[in-house]
Amino acid sequence: MRFRFLEDQEVTLFAAIPVGIAAGVVTTLFKEALESTGAVVFGSHADVVAIFAGLALAWRVIIPALGGALAGALLVLSNRLARSNPGAADYMEAVANGSGHLPVRITLLRSLSSFCSIVSGSSVGKEGAMIQLAALCGSLFPSTRIESAAGGSNMRRMLTACGAAAGLATVYHTPLSAAVFVAEVVFGALAVQRLMPLFLASVAGAMVSQWHGGLQPLYPGLNISLDLRPEMLLAAVALGVVAGITGALFLRASGIARARFSHVPGGPVARLALGGALVGLLAMAVPEVVGNGYSTIQTILQEQPLSVPVAGVLLAKLAATVISMGSGAVGGVFTPSLFVGAALGQLLAILLGMQMPGFAATPVLSLVGMSAFLAATSQAPLMSVLMVFEMTLSPALLLPSMIGAVAAYYTASRCQTLSLYSVIAERVQASAAVEHARTMTLSGLCDPTDTTIDPGATLAAAADKFAETGTRYLYLVEPDGRLVGALSIHAVQRAQREGSDATLLSLGERDFPALTPDSRLRDALEVFAGHGINRVPLIRDTGSRELLGTVSKQRVLQEASCLF
């Protein structure tokens, strides 16, 4: 069995590299297509923020609205296909809860919808569609022979996950955190057996970036020195708390926005057009709200001026991202989350500078804010710290980023925030249900019972009672309520056939199992498994043995189902 496991691991490692290369190529092509389309539509290779800043005010509204309408039309086609082809359309669901298979046409239509939203300035990230397409490479990897040797759907899930990790590594030039993201968020565990193929796929995808245009950090040249001043560490804690609260409010606002947009008549076309128009209205005053925010993050880190004060940019970007997500635009939220975190960090740095002249905290706090806000919204603090580190390759950031990410993670958790990703929300809910079932006692599962009889009753009375209740056992209960045993219908029938004059007490099972209100679900399961009964009597305590009622096997199994 161990040899077979090792063979499966070798097969997965062998397949991870070509999947990673294919995912890197597809991701790079998608990025090139976005840049080429932007150049054709706007006649410029500049970032979308710079383009919108130079547009007439009316066009800032019209272009996102038209792009949203086209994106919505593509979503309509995708939804029609999804109704006739049920299954997981998102790579996270396919890997975490499905077979790893992704539908090709649905994935392509949704990616094209995201393409239209991104080109027209919607406040979503490019990485969403790029990672989805990269995951599709893993899902489509020709592995018929490999699957027969390595575990069928498990192999397919792993290859789809490898594609996603490679895509993320290609987008952000972060192979380590890309692998950790898929392991921590999608699989929910940093198991070595899963990390190894994810590492290989991520490195392969990152190498495609190297061959295409270099693998330099996304935000290079910051030259950050180690700063362990108490003021800086306390500022990291405060920033983490603020990021956690902001992240919780952001996720709640996104949920409210989805609910509001669901009432907009006209389906996805009208919803995405309205969402695009609203983002465009914000862009009339704050052009930084369009796009994923990459260029604005660079502006913040380099301490260059924005179109409005950073507080205004922060609020406008939060609103634009909530609107885009609420309208149903397909896209990522990684870079918008990094944007919000960077703005939060710069805002705190400005406030601290006003209170403590000479206290230089930018761009350190902006980068700490990036990891903190990402940790709050993704509920993946390890990935968040590693990602910002790989984006800058600044070891001096690790300590304050770890402090900020932990503070943000726990603050958001206390605010009952789950995650941007449904798989984490489902995993948390399942874990809570398991913990509830593990600690649950039988006190709330007790049902009253009338299947009792006095031990001094006659055989005829017992037979009548069995006929009346239709049960297999009657509980022998003294007049003071004390349970002394149980009487089976078979013992009564046998005594009647033999003409016996035995008492019910002598025919009963004196050691019949009984539980107390403090007993756990597992105690009841052991009784049901060991004695083949459908109900177990519940007594107040082992001393008085006062019968309170019974607990049914069906109710115990329902409550305990999440344990297995």
Domain boundaries, the chain: 2-213, 230-265+283-434, 442-563
User: How far, rounded to the nearest angstrom, does the alpha carbon of residue 512 sit from its chain's CA centroid?
Assistant: 46
Q: Does residue 7 register a pLDDT over 70?
A: no
Domains 2-213 and 230-265+283-434 fall in the same CATH topology: yes
Can you give the pLDDT at residue 352? 86
Give 193-197's long-range contacts (Cβ < 8 A, gap of 24+): 193/9, 194/158, 194/161, 196/9, 196/13, 197/12, 197/13, 197/15, 197/16, 197/158, 197/162
Assess if CATH 1.10.3080.10 describes domain 2-213. yes
Which tokens in the block code for residue 298?
């660079």
What's the average model confidence in pLDDT over 323-335? 87
Fold entry, domain 230-265+283-434: Clc chloride channel (1.10.3080)
DSSP states along 56-82: -HHHHHHHHHHHHHHHHHHHHHHHHHH
Phi, psi angles (nearest 5°) of residue 264: -75, 125
The mean of the pLDDT values for the chain is 85
What's the average model confidence in pLDDT over 464-476? 90
Q: Does residue 362 register a pLDDT over 80?
A: no
Q: Does residue 424 register a pLDDT over 70?
A: no
Is the C-alpha dihedral spanning 163, 164, 165, 169 positive or negative? positive
* SS3 of 122-191: CCCECHHHHHHHHHHHHHCCCCHHHHHHHCCHHHHHHHHHHHHHHHHHHHHCCHHHHHHHHHHHHHCCCC
Can you give the pLDDT at residue 361? 66
Report whether 343 contacts 310 (CB < 8 A).
Answer: yes
Return the CATH number of the domain spanning residue range 442-563.
Answer: 3.10.580.10
182 to each of 167, 168, 220, 227, how far by Cα in Å? Answer: 11, 9, 25, 31
Q: Does residue 108 register a pLDDT over 80?
A: yes
Is the C-alpha dihedral spanning 284, 285, 287, 293 positive or negative? negative
Q: Which of 241, 253, 448 is nearest to 344 (CA)?
A: 241
Can you give the pLDDT at residue 378? 85
Sheet containing 473-477: which strands, arranged edge to edge?
452-453, 473-477, 483-488
Least confident of 32-46, 119-133, 184-198, 533-547: 184-198
Can you give the pLDDT at residue 85? 73
Q: Does residue 390 register a pLDDT over 80?
A: yes
Q: Does residue 235 register a pLDDT over 80?
A: yes
Q: Does residue 71 register a pLDDT over 80?
A: yes
Rounded distance between C-alpha atoms, residue 209 and residue 203, angstroms: 10
Can you give the pLDDT at residue 240? 95
Q: Which of 239, 262, 242 is nearest to 250 (CA)?
A: 242
